[in-house]
Amino acid sequence: MQNNIFSGLFVGQNLVTIKEVDSTNSFLKTLLSNSKPVPEGTVIMAESQYAGRGQQQNKWHSEPGKNLTFSILLTPTFLPVSQQFDLTRVISLGVYEALRPILGDELKIKWPNDIYFADRKLGGILIETHLQGTRIKDAIIGIGLNINQEHFEAGAGNAISVKQILHKDYDLRALLSEICGNIEAYYLQLKAGKHLLVRNTYLTRLYWLNQQRAFRSNGVVFNGTIINVKDEGLLVVDNNSGLQEFSLKQIEFLNK
């Protein structure tokens, strides 16, 4: 089914909704490899995924019909590969800004791109890029958000949903439309060269920014304070005897 309910310029203008699919990211990838061109901003939204994928080879579980599971095609050919973390920032901020009026200031972006409410995970983002030389040819942006799900399996860790926070159902389409509009707005800022604005805004939304917290790296637990995210996306932590930089696999946040 195809329709157009969105007010932005291109993100969500071509919306494809599917009842069941393995993964919206995989579906969009296959669509791209077929000969017909896919317009930038195309959104593939599924009611149910039977093989949803998360970061670091994890699976993404989501109760059918209750949550948002969708993928967006962007073609940020203007962005050098060395600056691809700016795309992570844009997407995280777009999701954040759409949810912020509903959920308030306990909403945060957990570096690099998890959406957190208090100390619990509300959603995640999986960005898969295809490169052409030093540029990004296209990016498949997969977004999974827990909206109306009331119960999570024990294995779901610290998951939380909008319904568990607000105790009422939320309209999935309305939220999707808000998210697409906000992602488009930040994406256009980036395209217009406003890297600094995007980087600074992202930093101010970060979970645990400027707070003394516990982390683990290489099996060693230490206290430190997140003070920055480098342009290319490394997390900068002040460990009380100096500044250390981490990539995603090198550091774990330790909640009490």
Binding site for ligand BTN (CB under 6 A): 23-25, 49, 52-55, 58, 60, 69-71, 114, 124-126, 142-144
Q: Which residue's CB comes closest to ligand BTN?
A: 124
Q: At 192, which helix (H) or strand (E)?
A: none
Q: Tell me phi and psi for residue 199, to 5 degrees.
A: -65, -45
Instruction: Provide, rounded to whole angstroms, the least separation between the CB of residue 28 and ligand BTN.
Output: 9
Q: What is the CA 219 to chain-centroid distance, rounded?
A: 27
Provide the minimum distance between the beta carbon of 176 and ligand BTN in the complex, in angstroms, as a whole number: 12
Nearest to ligand BTN of 146, 182 (CB atom): 146
Smaller CB separation from ligand BTN, 38 or 244: 38
Least distance in Å: CB of 190 to ligand BTN?
21
CA distances from 147 to 7, 56, 123, 171, 242 (A): 22, 23, 9, 9, 40
43 vs 224, beta carbon nearer ligand BTN: 43
3-state secondary structure of 48: strand
Please state, in angstroms and rounded to a whole number, the distance separating the CA atoms of residues 17 and 12: 11
Q: How far are the Cα atoms of 155, 208, 212, 235, 236 from residue 246, in angstroms, in the given order?
A: 27, 15, 16, 5, 7
Q: In the complex, what is the shortest distance from the CB of residue 236 to ligand BTN, in angstroms, rounded to a whole number?
A: 22
Complex with ligand BTN: residue 159 or 190, whichever CB lies closer = 159
Q: In the bound complex, what is the minimum distance in angstroms from residue 55's beta carbon to ligand BTN? A: 4
Residue nearer to ligand BTN on the CB measure, 13 or 23: 23
